């Protein structure tokens, strides 16, 4: 399913991001409690193997969908004051994603007080917040575009009546 979403991005980026959103929501519902990342003990019997597999897959998908070399290498984004904060958030997000990808199979989740586990949880929560904000912004943007489109139709109809 993840490869299908990545392939779909080449054909229909908007639909691919909608499908990715649904996958992410499903994953977050499974591993979130009180709006924070939470690793359930039920998976501890097999060293959190199911969680590790799902996390590897979902963060591979996230990275493939959101990593953009052109954006990262764009010096205008790095230096433009109006985009610098968002650009830095994006880079930090990618850093969290890479950390999760690189460490998911090696972390010992049995000790919640372990610094690695605490940092991993922080990375998971920061990714969750970033993605929620991105999708909220996309939704708001789509609503604004729809409203603008409706207003343009009304304006066009009025112009036609005047002609």
Categorize the per-residue pLDDT at 16 as very low, low, confident or very high, splitting at 50, 70 and 90. Answer: very high
For residue range 148-160, list pLDDT tens digits in order: 888 888 888 888 8
Cα-based distances in Å from 92 to 18, 31, 72, 86, 96: 23, 22, 12, 10, 6
Q: How many domains does the chain have?
A: 1
> Taking every pair of C-alpha atoms in the chain, what is the biggest distance, in angstroms?
75
Spatial separation of the C-alpha atoms in residues 31 and 40, rounded to whole Å:
7
Q: With contact defined as beta carbons under 8 Å apart, do 130 and 88 qualify?
A: no
pTM of the predicted model as reported, rounded to 2 decimal places: 0.79
Q: With contact defined as beta carbons under 8 Å apart, do 100 and 59 qualify?
A: yes
Domain holding 144, by residue range, is: 2-162
For residue range 23-60, list pLDDT tens digits in order: 998 888 888 777 777 776 556 677 788 889 999 999 99
Spatial separation of the C-alpha atoms in residues 112 and 99, rounded to whole Å:
18
State the pLDDT at residue 41: 58
State the pLDDT at residue 77: 76
For residue range 76-131, list pLDDT tens digits in order: 777 888 888 888 999 999 999 999 999 999 998 888 888 999 999 999 999 989 99
């Amino acid at each position: 399913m993840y490869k299908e979403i990545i392939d779909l991005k080449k054909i229909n980026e908007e639909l691919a991001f909608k499908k990715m959103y649904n996958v992410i929501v499903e994953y977050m519902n499974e591993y979130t409690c009180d709006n924070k990342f939470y690793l359930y003990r039920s998976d501890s019997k097999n060293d959190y193997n199911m969680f590790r597999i799902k996390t590897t897959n979902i963060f591979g998908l996230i990275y493939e969908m959101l990593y953009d070399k052109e954006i990262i290498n764009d010096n205008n984004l790095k230096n433009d004051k109006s985009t610098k904060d968002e650009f830095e958030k994006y880079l930090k997000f990618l850093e969290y994603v890479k950390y999760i990808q690189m460490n998911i199979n090696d972390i010992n989740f049995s000790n919640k007080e372990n610094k690695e586990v605490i940092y991993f949880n922080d990375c998971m929560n920061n990714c969750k917040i970033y993605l929620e904000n991105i999708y909220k912004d996309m939704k708001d943007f789509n609503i604004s575009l729809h409203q603008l489109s409706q207003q343009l139709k009304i304006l066009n109809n009025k112009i036609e009546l005047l002609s």
